[in-house]
Chain A
Amino acid sequence: MKIPFKGAVDCDLHLSAPRMSALLPYMDEYWSDQFSNRHIDRFAFTMSSDNPILPLQWRPDWKAGADEPGSELDRLRSRALDQFGSSIGIVNVIHGAIALYHGDMAAAILRAVNDWTADKVLSQESRLRGSILVSLQDPALAVAEIERLAGNPGFVQVLLPVIGELTIGRRIYWPVFEAASRAGLPICLHAGSLNRHAPTGVGWPSYYVEDYVSQSAGFEASLVSLLAEGVFQKFPDLTFVLAESGVTWMPSFQWRQDKMWLGVRTELPWIDRMPREIIRERVRLTLQPFDAPPDAAIVERLLDHLGSDEMLLFSTDYPHWHFDGDDVVPDGFPTDLLRKIAIDNPHATYGRLRQGGEATKSLEVTA
């Protein structure tokens, strides 16, 4: 179904990663020279699972005009923000530099990506907000990048791929969580892997479909790591947003967490209540791709099993292909809940949206 009112906050939108030629002006003299000198200034740094030539990555009607004059940002404006009546869109620009082993080089590219985002996206479209893309290769550099951009209210979260090198909750990464928490920024774990390990737990796949379907297992593994390592206790103000995670695995995950915790509680005594309560308070999921059958009754039951109406955040995942036409909301969502996931929950999750003011005024019910 369509979204029956205006003013939604679209919590996951995409623009293609800028080419190196567009990033070089945002680099210092050393790195700009190094990329040219090493002949990698034309290298695309495309991640295999995020390749825009893949059908799921670019809906055909949204791809139309990609070769014609006019920018990708203009098309996003009209096809995503205007079309769905969104008051705010959080754009996630994902660049393959997050997978580099060279921590300094990764940081140099990501600084440029973030500055490009601020300059070419956020300052061009007042409805858009950005994510600070960092690499965990050297956590200190990630901290520095968060601190460098924390003063820019256009950035509303810190962006990481969900499958990294080590389990995400480990103490080596805590300085990054601390920096995000201090800046009032949620951490967004987005579908995707650095491919340090096979994306499945049982070996390397042959096909993209295996990679895609296995992502939810990556989200589960990262979430159980955050819980077990005590990140939610250590950083009580930090929210984790799972982007493109799918939703249907979450109820059974909560149940399994609780069941196992009852038996092995003493391993991690800092978990002081049922894990599902912690998850419901501190974890948010973007709507698309929604992975339930197209059956309103099943969707309603699933939403009930989530156990909270505060966990979901509206998203189109533009321009990825998860739905046709304007039917961005799966059938079975009651309008009251939809208003919550499209407006209230994003504003509760992203403190910086509340400070923005302007974007919250445009709520206008049309149905």
Chain B
Amino acid sequence: MIRHIVAKTAEIPAGTHRIVDVSGRQVGVFNVNGEFFALLNRCPHGGAELCKGAVTALVQPSGVGQYAVSRKGEFLRCPWHGWEFEIRSGQSYCDPARIKARKIDVAVERGEELVKGPYVAESYDVTVEDDYVVLSL
């Protein structure tokens, strides 16, 4: 497993995400309320570019005619068929045990630690004073 530095944390503020290329693989990197998560940009259902779908909240059962919205920004809706995935786990909402988006290990590391290596940072000059998003795959 190789560690890839894909962004400075400051480049992906809370509530935003970015799709990065890691050795030819597309990965969506999400900042959900300050926590970073990463999913392969591929829907396990039909292969759509999952991370290009809308980032949404969860609408949960709470009585007929009731529309209870919670966990804003924690779900991803596939642009093809509308299946919902929890960004944190990659699990689909409707069939969590069977249908899962592939989760990529992600860590935030300080530049002063990273410069000790090893890492792959094709487009980043690592500086000791910044924090970086590091994917392992």
**Chain A contact residues, CB within 8 Å of chain B:** 171, 229-230, 233-234, 261-266, 269-272, 274
Contact = CB atoms under 8 A, between A and B. Distances in A.
A229 B64 CA distance: 8
A270 B81 contact: no
Contacts of A261: 94
Interface string B56-90: 10011111111110000000000001111000000
B83 A263 contact: yes
B43 to A, nearest CB: 12
A269 B94 contact: no
Please name the 5 residue pairs, one residue from A and one from B, whose CB atoms are nearest each other, closest first.
A230-B64, A263-B82, A272-B61, A269-B59, A266-B59
A265 B62 contact: no
A269 B83 contact: no
Given A269-B67, A269-B68, A270-B66, A264 B61 contact: no
Contacts of A269: 59-62, 66-68
Query: What is the size category of the interface that chain B forms with chain A?
Result: 10 to 19
Contacts of B84: 265-266
Contacts, number: 42
A131 to B, nearest CB: 27
If over half of B's interface residues share one DSSP class (helix, strand or loop), that class is named, otherwise mixed; here it is loop
Contacts of B60: 269
B54 to A, nearest CB: 11
Interface string B103-123: 000000000000000000000
Contacts of A263: 81-83
Nearest to B56: A266
A143 to B, nearest CB: 19
Interface of B: 56, 59-68, 81-84, 93-95
Given A229-B64, A230-B64, A264 B82 contact: yes
A280 to B, nearest CB: 17
Nearest to B75: A266
Contacts of B61: 233, 269-272
A262 B64 contact: no
A265 B94 contact: yes
A233 B65 CA distance: 11
Contact of A265 (B63, B64, B68, B93): B93
B63 to A, nearest CB: 7
B18 to A, nearest CB: 25
Nearest to B99: A262
A271 B94 CA distance: 11
Nearest to A235: B64
B53 to A, nearest CB: 12
Nearest to B81: A263
Contacts of B94: 261-262, 265, 274
Nearest to A231: B64
A274 B68 CA distance: 19
5 contacts: A261-B94, A263-B81, A265-B82, A269-B61, A269-B66
A171 B64 CA distance: 10
A233 B64 contact: yes
B64 A234 contact: yes
A266 B84 CA distance: 9
Contacts of B93: 265
Given A230-B65, A233-B64, A269-B68, A262 B59 contact: no
Contacts of A271: 61
Nearest to A232: B64
Given A230-B65, A265-B84, A269-B62, 6 more contacts: A233-B61, A262-B83, A263-B83, A269-B60, A269-B67, A270-B61
Contacts of A264: 82
Contacts of A262: 81-83, 94-95
Given A261-B94, A262-B94, A270 B83 contact: no
A107 to B, nearest CB: 28
B45 to A, nearest CB: 8
A266 B65 CA distance: 12
A229 B63 CA distance: 11
A272 B61 CA distance: 6
A261 B59 CA distance: 14
A181 to B, nearest CB: 14
Nearest to A230: B64
Contacts of A230: 64-65
A175 to B, nearest CB: 14
A269 to B, nearest CB: 4
A270 B63 contact: yes
A210 to B, nearest CB: 34
Contacts of A171: 65
A98 B14 CA distance: 60
